[in-house]
A and B are shown apart, each in its own frame.
Chain A
């Protein structure tokens, strides 16, 4: 196999407690720390490990979004991706549109494997990998905690409700990563410097012939209902009393 394609997304950093905008049009993202979606870091790491094992020859990182997504791609290059493609657009993007862009890139680059994160921690959709698999008519192995390539197949252990499941998919295939697939490496300063010299190509969705118009309209974004303030009780006896007589849950 030659290439692995790894889509990465720039999201609000997972440690940030997001705030809903006062006009209820979305969440505050200006002047908020952004970073690579954690599941995508795992995807890049897995692709780079496959390359280090000699199972693949080239790792291409891709991001769809605004100019700022360049930073996310540079991070992927610093982890060990060989080159990057930014599909630049200011449009609001939904999974279907992103998957269509990725499908166009799959046709262009002909990767043997595409590794994506299982979900992005901003829209929490958990769709893009599956949609890409369907559009490109490829098999999928989602929520992967182990990936082995052999004999034109990927044997993937998946995290499912109630335990683990192993499937074999014929390559080319789509794999989405779960948290336990690997522990992404830290990027080192020399690798960050090297990443600056690696190629980063910029295209736009129209070049790829893709219409990215959103299909879902967000009418409103609101705060979740707040829990009323609780109390601290002195000891376990007081706790049991409260649970029995006040909350009546035991």
Chain B
């Protein structure tokens, strides 16, 4: 049994989500290979070869793979699929984009967002915004899986010494093309990998207040900043900071929810955090039902106080 993990990267560096996917792959029991599909991504292939537990890295390099267009990446994976029992993607925007396309061409059911490997054909995955956990068994010959990264510890990024094998990149499909990218600039830790997250909701009132209140606290704690959907919809924060069923799924050591009521859809994204703190002036807010420590107070005085006390 051999498992292929599709690496997440930006052609320059390997993304941490790959490490969690490798751990899930190792739990299946078998040889773990990693595919690095990109353009001028030799450094990424090199980094992948260092991951503990990886026995081979397959490096496909070509212009068709530069922007990870689903049509081309899926074709690349399919070209290699014959030798593998399981094909594993991290459940990132990119993994979710490509994995179902691969599964469809293999005529197998894709299994989304697994949080636990029960056996090589049986997995646990959350449904209904995390309000239920389904245990599912696949009868397909090949399993195409996406892995919820917060469900698995990251594999060690060093200590491995896998061979890197180059394969030719697929031709461009001609059906899609990349136009441009607008990256949100941030020198904070990445939201999905941060140990501490400070998250704001609609109660902050404006984008100025959102920055003014949350930034000092995040700076002090070395935390990433997150937001509820209400805050994003109101324009206080960019969409890629959204935590919840439809945004990012996070599980930091400490999650500080500030002015967030705690709707089901938000809880779906953060309730696996180790310690949850809620600061809210409404003592009936549902967030207090999941918070380990709650403070009923006006956030505009409590948060600056907190920054001072820390």
**Residues on A facing B (Cβ under 8 Å):** 12, 14-15, 17-18, 20, 27, 94-96, 99, 118-119, 121-135, 138-143, 145, 155, 158-170, 173, 178-180, 214-224, 227, 230-233, 235-237, 239-240, 242-243, 247, 249-250
Taking CB atoms, residues of chain A closer than 8 Å to B176 are 139-141, 167-170
Taking CB atoms, residues of chain B closer than 8 Å to A161 are 92-94, 192, 240, 248
Residue B103 lies at the interface, judged by CB distance under 8 Å to chain A: yes
Q: Which of B18-26, B36-44, B52-60, B301-309 contacts A (4 or more CB under 8 A)?
A: B301-309
Q: 9 interchain pairs (CB within 8 A)?
A: A96-B107, A139-B175, A159-B93, A170-B174, A216-B109, A218-B134, A236-B295, A243-B254, A243-B277
B 92-119 binary contact with A (CB < 8 Å = 1; else 0): 1110111111111101111111000000
- A219-B122, A235-B305 provided; 19 other pairs, C-beta below 8 A? A122-B128, A124-B128, A126-B113, A134-B101, A162-B240, A163-B238, A165-B67, A167-B178, A168-B176, A216-B138, A217-B137, A217-B138, A217-B139, A220-B134, A221-B133, A227-B271, A227-B290, A231-B292, A232-B288
Q: How far is the CA of A247 from the CA of B196 in the complex (A)?
A: 13
Q: Is the CB of B291 within 8 A of A27?
A: no
Known: A155-B179, A167-B176. A17 touches B131 (CB 8 A): yes
Most chain A CB atoms below 10 A, which of B131, B178, B288, B310: B131
Q: Is the CB of A140 within 8 A of B70?
A: yes
Which one, B94, B129, B137, B296, contacts A232 given CB within 8 A?
B296
Taking CB atoms, residues of chain B closer than 8 Å to A219 are 122, 135-137
| Closest Cβ–Cβ distance, residue B13 to chain A (whole Å) | 12
Which 3 A-B residue pairs are closest in the complex by CB-CB distance?
A134-B104, A130-B100, A215-B109
Q: Is the CB of A167 within 8 A of B182?
A: no
Q: Is the CB of A222 within 8 A of B101?
A: no
**Residues on B facing A (Cβ under 8 Å):** 67, 69-71, 74, 92-94, 96-105, 107-113, 122, 126-140, 173-184, 192, 196, 221, 229, 232-233, 238-240, 245-246, 248, 253-254, 264-265, 271, 274-277, 283, 288, 290-297, 302, 305-306, 309-310
Q: How far is the CA of A51 from the CA of B292 in the complex (A)?
A: 50
| Closest Cβ–Cβ distance, residue A148 to chain B (whole Å) | 11
Taking CB atoms, residues of chain A closer than 8 Å to B140 are 215
Q: How far is the CA of A240 from the CA of B70 in the complex (A)?
A: 46
Taking CB atoms, residues of chain B closer than 8 Å to A125 are 110, 112
Which one, A12, A141, A232, contacts B295 given CB within 8 A?
A232
Q: Is the CB of B104 within 8 A of A99?
A: yes
With both beta carbons as reference points, the residue of chain B lying nearest to A17 in the complex is identified as: B264
Chain A binding surface, main DSSP class: mixed
| Closest Cβ–Cβ distance, residue A36 to chain B (whole Å) | 16
| Closest Cβ–Cβ distance, residue B263 to chain A (whole Å) | 9
Q: Is the CB of B297 within 8 A of A216?
A: no
| Closest Cβ–Cβ distance, residue A76 to chain B (whole Å) | 21
Known: A166-B179, A221-B127, A236-B302. A159 touches B132 (CB 8 A): no
Which one, A167, A215, A250, contacts B221 given CB within 8 A?
A250
Which one, A96, A180, A230, contacts B239 given CB within 8 A?
A180
Q: Is the CB of A164 within 8 A of B182?
A: yes
| Closest Cβ–Cβ distance, residue A39 to chain B (whole Å) | 8
Taking CB atoms, residues of chain B closer than 8 Å to A143 are 93, 97
With both beta carbons as reference points, the residue of chain A lying nearest to B123 in the complex is identified as: A216
Known: A224-B130, A227-B271, A232-B296. A135 touches B104 (CB 8 A): yes
Taking CB atoms, residues of chain B closer than 8 Å to A239 are 277, 293, 295, 306
Taking CB atoms, residues of chain B closer than 8 Å to A235 are 295, 297, 302, 305
With both beta carbons as reference points, the residue of chain B lying nearest to A155 in the complex is identified as: B179
Known: A133-B101, A215-B139. A236 touches B297 (CB 8 A): yes
Taking CB atoms, residues of chain B closer than 8 Å to A164 are 181-182
Q: Is the CB of B175 within 8 A of A230?
A: no
Which one, B70, B180, B275, contacts A142 given CB within 8 A?
B70
Q: Is the CB of B132 within 8 A of A230?
A: no
| Closest Cβ–Cβ distance, residue B89 to chain A (whole Å) | 12
Most chain A CB atoms below 10 A, which of B92, B104, B107, B233: B104
Q: Is the CB of A20 within 8 A of B132?
A: yes
Q: How far is the CA of A222 from the CA of B92 in the complex (A)?
A: 25
Taking CB atoms, residues of chain A closer than 8 Å to B128 are 12, 18, 27, 121-122, 124
Taking CB atoms, residues of chain A closer than 8 Å to B110 are 95-96, 125, 127, 131
Taking CB atoms, residues of chain B closer than 8 Å to A169 are 175-176
Taking CB atoms, residues of chain B closer than 8 Å to A99 are 104
Q: Is the CB of A166 within 8 A of B294?
A: no
With both beta carbons as reference points, the residue of chain B lying nearest to A94 in the complex is identified as: B109
Q: Is the CB of B108 within 8 A of A215?
A: yes
Taking CB atoms, residues of chain B closer than 8 Å to A12 are 128
Q: Is the CB of B180 within 8 A of A140?
A: no
Known: A94-B109, A145-B239. A126 touches B293 (CB 8 A): no
Known: A134-B100, A139-B173. A230 touches B129 (CB 8 A): no
